Structure 1
């Protein structure tokens, strides 16, 4: 948990930030948060009023955490039109928007009127999980590996229809990608590589790993900048998990590594055939033990489960393996000359419709539970689990992942780890918002779900 001094910074630091922004010509300042739909929302203040808000924040009605992605309000006790929280900026998160140099932006924490963390706030939850890990002597780094599709802004047709890793697709995208990399660099986000992917009009631009809170913030800024630059190039970007039933879907794979106080990657063992230490195996064991409920946080929409199908390289089974792209947890190969530095676990059953603070909080908590309770993940799976018989999967302890968001939500609410982690107000609110989505799409056909989700995300 953050200390009060971080929530209520010294006046001189806050005023120095205000003065610096004014000198840079900033006129507007955003106070941003992320709702249970994974949608970034916020309020904007003028530079002239920033001095009054940078410490005390701005008010926000409590009912906003009961809003769906379509702005429907669901009935959640304690999240009503009565009362408000305060959006208080995290001063370490400040950036100036590359496309709008007159606008600065902050990620915010939600505080109650008596200056305490608001229990429904996902960003506050992630900070609490980070603090819990630190008490065990661990820090974590993570990143999202996002796939997205580019479409013509006027016709909504795929902007390109080239092949996976095709050089023609690269040529098509290079102007867009170069501008993306430059703008993300201005926001402190490093990009590792670029390549066109297998879906029609699909591209991938993996970010470098960062400390957990920054990694979650980066995911929000990344998606925003991709959309902004796409618009400048006459395109629209969608991160929807399965916008088109006839082509591959968009993943938002989560990569995470765990480090001790001496700076050692505690998940890695270069001598192990899979590349995992004993703690690494336990960490994977924890993820697999809780994965059914975890999916409600990492694959957070009805459309997510249209992607999580056998043979789609998205994972459909609760298994792990070395470079197994059909397992829910993949242990990626490391760089030859940076084995310890690049060792990590990848959760493939994840996409960009998730609230990244909830997703990372759930992932780290599940893994730590595995370490604390020595949860054995079983043997690694070195084949596509879908190619095994039912009897072979049962003997190996390999279960099918939830088939629907409703199934994952039920698992989330039945999992003691997540019930304790999220608390009653957050879990109730999150479940109600997701149940509203399930009800909304109940009578849609498959493609209609994909089409609407593509316009929401």
Structure 2
């Protein structure tokens, strides 16, 4: 082992090791040349904390090589930041002491089309000695992706991005919308056609394949969907899409909210996770003998996800305000059931059109929202699905229609309050093992602190406090 190489043991919690320092320098020099030719002057390197907030360190382009070799300083206490920037502590992580190194992923660095002169890269966090930080959420997702790959399995994932656009104003102001009209209506698209065109243009210039964009249900609400990718890439893309939407909005005099609820009592923003399980080039969601063509592997995987949804909410619905969105009869997936094309089920099976089913068949986790750290969400879903495979689980009977209309007790309701989800998370041996103790405890500390913070807060005040945080 050379001094330029950081060796990492291969075990259940191993992360991808850092390449040799000289190789990182070569990659960074090549990346800097490309970025300089594109007019880039600075690079923003981001990570997402356990409260779901994207944090950033930036360097001038001339500093990219040094950042790739030695990393950027980032305190470990960021792992116990709350969404409002208050700081809690966990048994393992917390306090003012210590430092980490944030390394840009040079394979994902991209000029930002709506922020001239800037580029973006997601970051992985390591210790000062170069070993993987056990609290790094992106490295957790990479571990889970590697665990699936070791079994010959690949997950393709995509995260829908919903947002509400409002006229720029003071944070305390109630949102005023730039367009009105029917839900999903052409009226809204026409009013903001230049804006939406610029969103599409910016995403395309950044190399993202957009599948569709449209007005959504709530006032000022829109949604964009992009092509599926591997789990870590899909989480990266979700972060990049949100950066891009926010930047385009600012150039149009708008501010945006990805918060679970923007106005109390209205439909909120989800971040639905679409996923399909593959072995080599075969979509395991088709051609099997299980429900609607599921193979045994796909059924076991989805059964594991469905069974774990109460504890997965701690990672997929991180804000206490998310439970104001997670209500029956709002297409939010408030019930722990599954069904073919059932938008009220927490797990919706999507088969696609007859001619495209071999590639398009997937499942949608509808109960997640954009307060989630996307790396935690995809990594935890992988952990739960693989556990379902190991346990040879089968899906329960599917549910058709609105579960809220069923006889009481027929369909289990997902946790309606943060405390219920936290209790399920504390019982989950699967998530504790997959996350590792430092990350598991840091997430738990943040969720407990925010649950206490908003325990006696009226919905309107909770929404106002979180509206512009996400």
Stretches of structure 2 that go unaligned for 5 or more consecutive residues are 1-14
Matches of 2:20 and 2:360 in 1, distance apart?
A: 31
Aligned pair partner of 1:207 in 202, 207, 226: 226
Residue in 2 that maps onto 1:171: 190
Give matches, 1:84-95, under 5 Å: 84-95=99-110
**Counterpart of 2:87 in 1: which secondary structure?**
coil
Report whether the alignment pairs 1:51 with 2:69: no
Distance change >3 Å, CA 80–CA 317, structure 1 → 2 = same
- Do the aligned residues in 2 keep the contact of 1:328 with 1:349 (CA within 8 Å)? yes
Bigger Cα displacement from structure 2, 341-350 vs 231-240: 231-240
- Do the aligned residues in 2 keep the contact of 1:267 with 1:278 (CA within 8 Å)? no
Residue in 2 that maps onto 1:224: 243
- Do the aligned residues in 1 keep the contact of 2:313 with 2:367 (CA within 8 Å)? yes
Report whether the alignment pairs 1:64 with 2:88: no
**Counterpart of 1:432 in 2: which secondary structure?**
helix
CA deviations over 1:96-128 (Å, ceiling 9, x no partner): 111223122211100112211100000000000
Matches of 1:246 and 1:292 in 2, distance apart?
A: 23
- Do the aligned residues in 2 keep the contact of 1:268 with 1:344 (CA within 8 Å)? no
Bigger Cα displacement from structure 2, 403-412 vs 126-135: 403-412
Distance change >3 Å, CA 137–CA 239, structure 1 → 2 = same
Give matches, 1:123-138, under 5 Å: 123-138=138-153
Distance change >3 Å, CA 443–CA 89, structure 1 → 2 = same
- Do the aligned residues in 1 keep the contact of 2:288 with 2:296 (CA within 8 Å)? no
Residue in 1 that maps onto 2:337: 319
Matches of 2:328 and 2:336 in 1, distance apart?
A: 12
Q: What TM-score do the two structures reach when normalised by structure 2? A: 0.92
* TM-aligned CA deviation for residue 49 of structure 1: 2.5
Bigger Cα displacement from structure 2, 125-134 vs 52-61: 52-61
CA deviations over 1:9-42 (Å, ceiling 9, x no partner): 3432232222333333322122211111221112
Give matches, 1:64-83, under 5 Å: 64-76=78-90, 77-83=92-98
Residue in 2 that maps onto 1:331: 349
Report whether the alignment pairs 1:237 with 2:256: yes
Give matches, 1:295-444, under 5 Å: 295-391=313-409, 393=410, 398-444=411-457
Residue in 2 that maps onto 1:21: 35
Stretches of structure 1 that go unaligned for 5 or more consecutive residues are none
* TM-aligned CA deviation for residue 80 of structure 1: 2.5
Residue in 2 that maps onto 1:259: 278
**Counterpart of 1:192 in 2: which secondary structure?**
strand
Matches of 1:7 and 1:176 in 2, distance apart?
A: 43
* TM-aligned CA deviation for residue 45 of structure 1: 1.4
* TM-aligned CA deviation for residue 361 of structure 1: 0.5
**Counterpart of 2:467 in 1: which secondary structure?**
helix
Matches of 2:246 and 2:355 in 1, distance apart?
A: 35
**Counterpart of 1:193 in 2: which secondary structure?**
strand
- Do the aligned residues in 1 keep the contact of 2:79 with 2:93 (CA within 8 Å)? no
Matches of 2:290 and 2:186 in 1, distance apart?
A: 36
Bigger Cα displacement from structure 2, 406-415 vs 275-284: 275-284
Distance change >3 Å, CA 379–CA 170, structure 1 → 2 = same
* TM-aligned CA deviation for residue 146 of structure 1: 2.1
CA deviations over 1:385-406 (Å, ceiling 9, x no partner): 1111125x1xxxx311001122
**Counterpart of 2:44 in 1: which secondary structure?**
strand
Matches of 2:265 and 2:22 in 1, distance apart?
A: 51
RMSD after superposition: 1.7
Aligned pair partner of 1:250 in 269, 273, 280: 269
Distance change >3 Å, CA 27–CA 86, structure 1 → 2 = same
Residue in 1 that maps onto 2:127: 112
Bigger Cα displacement from structure 2, 271-280 vs 311-320: 271-280
* TM-aligned CA deviation for residue 280 of structure 1: 2.1
* TM-aligned CA deviation for residue 366 of structure 1: 1.0
Aligned pair partner of 2:48 in 34, 44, 51: 34
Bigger Cα displacement from structure 2, 327-336 vs 272-281: 272-281
Matched residues, number: 451
